[in-house]
């Protein structure tokens, strides 16, 4: 049994959640559920980034206190646990005392690499990042298509340049694995271009008094990214040096996986490892980088005003179909377009006519038997091959490929039913019992593979198959078949 810490990036709370972060949350949830299915010990952490200047500006626009806005929106992100059935173990808000204390502790641990200087640069509030002229696209932020503001003030800086050689060696030796490989090459090119020290504080005036005060200097507020990145340790009791932190960060046997969007790669693959080296803490093992969910080819973002609320999608189509569409239709590491029309097609073709039809056919057969005695397994080779392909795909975060393995097994089971013609067999006779046993085992294994992706649907199917309380249904035994109370396609939309 392995130990894993799985994290998402923490989104700003200047507006409601959108389906882009929903994708990241669901991807991380699949990894967490899959590893638990493999009997690993998993700690799944997510949360919200609440100390951004973007949040201050949003509160001013709404004419409400900043705390009122972040409290209300943070609660909406927290409710994604129900909206998208996310199985996180903890939710860290960066305004919590445990985070504030932990961020200050981390700052002090990096003290040898922190200094003050006057700085002038081009700042994008949307990215919360200073840009070089050469990084702009026709003078505009490449992410938000807005003109950065010129900012000049005296701030604290982190000596990132001191870690250039170490970071280069870390990626050359794959001590931190970046998935996909081309994102690693982006990081290496950025390091080779020369790392510059970066500002890690803002004046209290420019921050409008919102954020975490710099230790021993109440005139400066921590730069939101320096503060936010520490959530990966403050969310597991870093401030107190507690048992969770010791177990899921300090223990070198624990695997740490950060799941992020491509827009925040620099922060997670360069700033964060350098900060950890400075603080004398271990590095994460893997950084998985997904693309954007687009709307008609355009990046979906709160700043651009083209967002889709996951709550609206699940209300229309149900939680499991929404999860399925995001994981099957959106390429794991590329941009992918979201539309209700494409979701409707996937629902009809893959779920209602594909999965729903197979379950309906299989249960019709097994209900005739009343119970299934597991023994014969004509589909064993197909099941084992599907598990091999499925596990290999999830190891590489290829969620769509893993689902292809499940649907391939589904197709094989359908063809087996057609070939055996169980409707022409006699219940109670060996031929019928062997057919029912083989189909039961294929469907039980198929259902276990579905569990990380469509947990509610898998839970109900397991009850129909009679193994609700069995940890290893395909090991053998007698299972009482339950007749479904509702049509399968309707159940999917719950």
Q: Are residues 300 and 374 in the same domain?
A: no
Contacts with 206 (C-beta within 8 Å, 6 or more apart), sequence order: 53, 151, 153
Tell me which residue of 109, 105, 138, 139 sits closest to 122, measured CA to CA.
139
Q: Cα separation of 451 and 288, whole Å?
A: 21
Q: Are residues 157 and 233 in the same domain?
A: yes
Average per-residue pLDDT in the chain?
91
How high is the pLDDT of residue 401?
A: 98
> For the segment 390-417, what is each residue's pLDDT rounded down to a tens digit?
999 999 999 999 999 999 999 999 999 9
Q: Residue 490 pLDDT more than 70?
A: no
- HSE toward the beta carbon, residue 384, CA cutoff 13 A: 5
Q: In the chain, how many domains are there?
A: 2
Q: Are residues 137 and 259 in the same domain?
A: yes
325 located within any domain: no
> For the segment 205-258, what is each residue's pLDDT rounded down to a tens digit?
988 999 999 999 999 999 999 999 999 999 999 999 999 999 999 999 999 999
Residue 99: φ, ψ to 5°: -75, -45
How high is the pLDDT of residue 148?
A: 81
Of the chain, the percentage scoring pLDDT greater than 70 comes to: 92
How high is the pLDDT of residue 372?
A: 84
471 located within any domain: yes
How high is the pLDDT of residue 405?
A: 97
129 located within any domain: yes
Q: Are residues 295 and 428 in the same domain?
A: no
Q: Cα separation of 203 and 219, whole Å?
A: 6
Q: Cα separation of 75 and 48, whole Å?
A: 9
Q: Residue 29 pLDDT more than 80?
A: yes
Helix residue spans in 44-163 (DSSP H): 53-62, 66-78, 80-83, 97-109
* Two tokens, residue 85: 């059935």
CATH number at residue 241: 3.40.50.620
How high is the pLDDT of residue 494?
A: 46
Q: Are residues 260 and 384 in the same domain?
A: no
201 located within any domain: yes
467 located within any domain: yes
Reduced 3-state DSSP string for 271-324? HHHHHHHHHCCCCCCEEEEECCEEECCEECCCCCCCCCCHHHHHHHHCHHHHHH
Residue 463: φ, ψ to 5°: -70, -40
Q: Are residues 384 and 299 in the same domain?
A: no
Query: Residue 309: is it exposed, middle or buried by C-beta count within 10 angstroms (0-12/13-18/19+)?
Result: middle
Confidence of residue 302 (pLDDT cuts 50, 70, 90): low
> For the segment 59-88, what is each residue's pLDDT rounded down to a tens digit?
999 999 999 999 999 999 999 999 999 999
* Two tokens, residue 214: 């710099």
How high is the pLDDT of residue 176?
A: 98
Tell me which residue of 106, 77, 87 sits closest to 36, measured CA to CA.
87
Q: Are residues 278 and 392 in the same domain?
A: no
Q: Are residues 303 and 352 in the same domain?
A: no
- CB of 274 within 8 A of CB of 200? no
323 located within any domain: no
Q: Cα separation of 38 and 288, whole Å?
A: 20
Q: Residue 179 pLDDT more than 50?
A: yes
Q: Are residues 296 and 365 in the same domain?
A: no
Q: Cα separation of 444 and 133, whole Å?
A: 57
Q: Are residues 277 and 360 in the same domain?
A: no
328 located within any domain: no
Q: Are residues 381 and 284 in the same domain?
A: no
DSSP annotation string for 122-185: EEETTTTEEE-GGGSBTTB-TTT--PPEEEEEEEEEE-GGGGHHHHHHHHHTTSSEEESHHHHH
> For the segment 313-360, what is each residue's pLDDT rounded down to a tens digit?
999 999 999 999 999 999 999 999 999 999 999 999 999 999 999 998
Domain that holds residue 225: 3-307
Cβ neighbours, 10 Å, residue 349: 10
How high is the pLDDT of residue 122?
A: 80
Q: Residue 56 pLDDT more than 80?
A: yes
pTM: 0.91
Confidence of residue 487 (pLDDT cuts 50, 70, 90): very low
- CB of 19 within 8 A of CB of 310? yes
CATH number at residue 449: 1.10.730.10
Q: Residue 163 pLDDT more than 80?
A: yes
Q: Domain ends where: 307, 331, 364?
A: 307
Q: Are residues 222 and 357 in the same domain?
A: no
332 located within any domain: no
DSSP annotation string for 313-353: HHHHH-HHHHHHHHHHHS-TTS-EE--HHHHHHHIIIIIII
């Amino acid at each position: 049994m392995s130990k894993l810490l799985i994290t998402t990036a923490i989104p700003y709370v200047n507006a409601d959640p959108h389906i882009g972060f929903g994708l990241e949350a669901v991807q991380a949830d699949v990894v967490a559920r899959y590893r638990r299915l493999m009997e690993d010990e998993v700690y799944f952490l997510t949360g919200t980034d609440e100390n951004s200047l973007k949040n201050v500006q949003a509160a001013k626009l709404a004419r409400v206190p900043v705390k009122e806005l972040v409290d209300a929106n943070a609660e909406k992100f927290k409710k994604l646990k129900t909206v998208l059935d996310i199985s996180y173990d903890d939710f860290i808000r960066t305004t919590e005392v445990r985070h504030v204390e932990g961020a200050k502790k981390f700052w002090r641990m990096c003290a040898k690499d922190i200094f003050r200087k006057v700085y002038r640069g081009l700042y994008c509030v949307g990215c919360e990042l200073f840009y070089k002229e050469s990084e702009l696209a026709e003078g505009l932020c490449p992410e938000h298509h807005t003109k950065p503001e010129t900012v000049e003030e005296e701030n604290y800086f982190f000596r990132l340049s001191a870690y250039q050689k170490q970071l280069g060696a870390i990626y050359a030796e794959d001590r931190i694995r970046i998935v996909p490989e081309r994102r690693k090459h982006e990081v290496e090119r950025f390091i080779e271009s020369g790392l510059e020290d970066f500002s890690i504080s803002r004046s209290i005036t420019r921050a409008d008094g919102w954020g975490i005060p710099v230790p021993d200097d109440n005139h400066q507020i921590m730069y939101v990214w320096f503060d936010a990145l520490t959530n990966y340790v403050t969310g597991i009791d870093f401030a107190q040096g507690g048992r969770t932190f010791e177990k899921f960060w300090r223990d070198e046997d624990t695997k740490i996986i950060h799941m992020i969007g491509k827009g925040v790669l620099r922060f997670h693959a360069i700033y964060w490892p350098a900060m950890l080296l400075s603080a004398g803490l271990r590095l994460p093992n893997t950084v998985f980088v997904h693309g954007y969910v687009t709307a008609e080819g355009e990046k979906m973002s709160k700043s651009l005003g083209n967002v889709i609320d996951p709550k609206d999608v699940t209300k229309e189509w149900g939680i499991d179909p929404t999860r399925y569409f995001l994981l099957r239709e959106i390429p794991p590491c590329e941009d992918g377009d979201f539309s209700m029309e494409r979701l409707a097609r996937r629902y009809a073709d893959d779920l209602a006519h594909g999965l729903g039809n197979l379950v309906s056919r299989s249960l019709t057969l097994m209900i005739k038997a009343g119970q299934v005695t597991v023994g014969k397994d004509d589909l064993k080779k197909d099941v084992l091959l599907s598990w091999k392909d499925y596990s290999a795909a999830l190891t590489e975060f290829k969620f769509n490929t893993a689902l292809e393995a499940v649907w391939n097994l589904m197709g094989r089971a359908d063809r087996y039913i057609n070939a055996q013609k169980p409707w022409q067999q006699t219940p109670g006779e060996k031929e019928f019992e062997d057919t029912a046993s083989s189909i039961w085992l294929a469907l039980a294994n198929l259902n276990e593979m579905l569990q990380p992706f469509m947990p509610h649907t898998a839970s109900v199917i397991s009850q129909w198959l009679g193994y609700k309380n069995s940890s290893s249904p395909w090991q053998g035994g007698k299972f009482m078949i339950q007749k479904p109370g509702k049509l399968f396609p309707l159940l999917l939309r719950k």
